[in-house]
């Protein structure tokens, strides 16, 4: 697992343009929604002083006023946001396919982009399958927590409630981690072999659950790296003042740095998973 961890890091550094592509795609979606939001704010506040205030100070009173007196306009903003989210989701499937192909087959982005179009349908179906399974895991955890909560409602200990929900959320976390690992390996396997969505997902289920027990710990360790990066981001963000235009700009730039680190980590995860599959292929007789 350690070798896959390091090999994935080296591959991610080599394929930094793939991380840049993920970053640009995410940034465009964020900028689009931000532009729509600011346009709505300028209209709702009629370009008043409150609009200019938000540039230098994220005043909570302004947002409360918006919610109280401009709630109708929030519906339209929600529709715009949902539309942008749908468009971003469609584009992100292709971007992910390009990244998986570039990392898995050591291709330049220019060579991986047209191939990403050809595997788009498979990647989209894999995303749908994973979404449905993750939704089922979340719903199952909710039902299990409520059921156990009713069974232990008469417990004399107040900690019983927290223990029940902590255990339920822990099981849900493991289930979601498993779904994420299977999804990643299914995409990598499909890109490498041309397998369809059902065949690729079935193969990945067997790979993660039975043949390669290092898949889940490897993903957990890499996600732990992401948690450490997030903790560093939060520690620095706490000391950045948002009471001035420079402070708000600094907070935005620092947030973009976090997003860039997350995109690099995503490429790292794909590269490490690809190396893990390669190890199994080399070990096969």
Give 149-178 pLDDT, tens digit per residue. Answer: 788 777 777 788 788 888 899 999 999 999
Q: Work out the pLDDT band at 279, boundaries 50, 70, 90.
A: confident
Please tell me the predicted confidence (pLDDT) of residue 50: 47
Residue 80 has pLDDT above 50, yes or no: yes
Q: Quote the domain boundaries for residue 26.
A: 2-136+214-279
Residue 203 has pLDDT above 70, yes or no: yes
Residue 273 lies in a domain: yes
Residue 265 has pLDDT above 90, yes or no: yes
Please tell me the predicted confidence (pLDDT) of residue 253: 84
> What is the maximal distance between C-alpha atoms in the chain?
72
| Two structure tokens written together for 282 | 């080399």
The pTM assigned to this predicted structure is 0.81
CB neighbourhood size of 15 (10 A):
24
**Distance (Å) of CA 253 to CA 32, 151, 240, 247, 259:** 17, 49, 11, 10, 10
Return the sign of the alpha-carbon dihedral for residues 178, 179, 182, 185: negative
Residue 173 lies in a domain: no
Residue 60 has pLDDT above 90, yes or no: no
Dihedral (Cα; 143, 125, 202, 218), 10-degree rounding: -80
Q: What is the mean pLDDT of residues 188-213?
A: 91
Average pLDDT of every residue of the chain: 83
Residue 116 lies in a domain: yes
**Residues 102 and 266: beta-carbon distance below 8 Å:** no
41-50 CB contacts, 8 Å cutoff, 24+ apart = 41/66, 43/73, 44/70, 44/73
Residue 192 lies in a domain: no
**Residues 116 and 97: beta-carbon distance below 8 Å:** yes
Residue 225 lies in a domain: yes
**Residues 138 and 114: beta-carbon distance below 8 Å:** no
Residue 203 lies in a domain: no
Residue 253 lies in a domain: yes
Residue 94 has pLDDT above 50, yes or no: yes
Residue 150 lies in a domain: no
Report how many domains make up the chain. Answer: 1
């Amino acid at each position: 697992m350690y070798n896959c961890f390091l090999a994935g890091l080296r591959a991610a550094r080599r394929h930094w343009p793939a991380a840049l592509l993920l970053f640009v795609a995410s940034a465009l979606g964020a900028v689009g929604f931000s532009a729509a939001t600011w346009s709505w704010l300028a209209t709702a506040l009629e370009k008043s002083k409150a609009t200019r205030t938000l540039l230098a100070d994220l005043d909570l009173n302004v947002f409360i006023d918006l919610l109280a007196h401009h709630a109708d306009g929030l519906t339209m903003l929600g529709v715009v946001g949902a539309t942008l989210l749908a468009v971003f989701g469609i584009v992100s499937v292709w971007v992910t396919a390009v990244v998986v192909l570039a990392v898995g087959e050591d291709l330049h982005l220019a060579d991986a982009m047209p191939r990403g179009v050809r595997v788009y349908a498979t990647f989209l179906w894999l995303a749908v399958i994973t979404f449905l399974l993750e939704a089922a895991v979340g719903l199952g955890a909710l039902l299990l927590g409520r059921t156990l909560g009713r069974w232990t409602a008469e417990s004399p200990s107040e900690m019983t409630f927290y223990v029940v929900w902590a255990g339920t959320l822990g099981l849900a976390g493991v289930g979601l981690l498993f779904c994420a690992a299977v999804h990643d390996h299914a995409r990598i396997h499909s890109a490498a072999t041309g397998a369809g969505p059902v065949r690729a997902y079935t193969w990945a289920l067997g790979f993660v659950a039975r043949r390669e027990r290092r898949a889940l710990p490897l993903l957990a360790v890499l996600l732990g790296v992401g948690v450490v990066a997030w903790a560093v981001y939060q520690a620095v963000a706490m000391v950045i003042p948002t009471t001035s235009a420079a402070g708000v700009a600094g907070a935005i730039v620092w947030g973009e740095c976090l997003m860039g680190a997350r995109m690099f980590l995503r490429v790292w995860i794909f590269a490490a998973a690809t190396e893990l599959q390669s190890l199994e292929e080399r070990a096969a007789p």
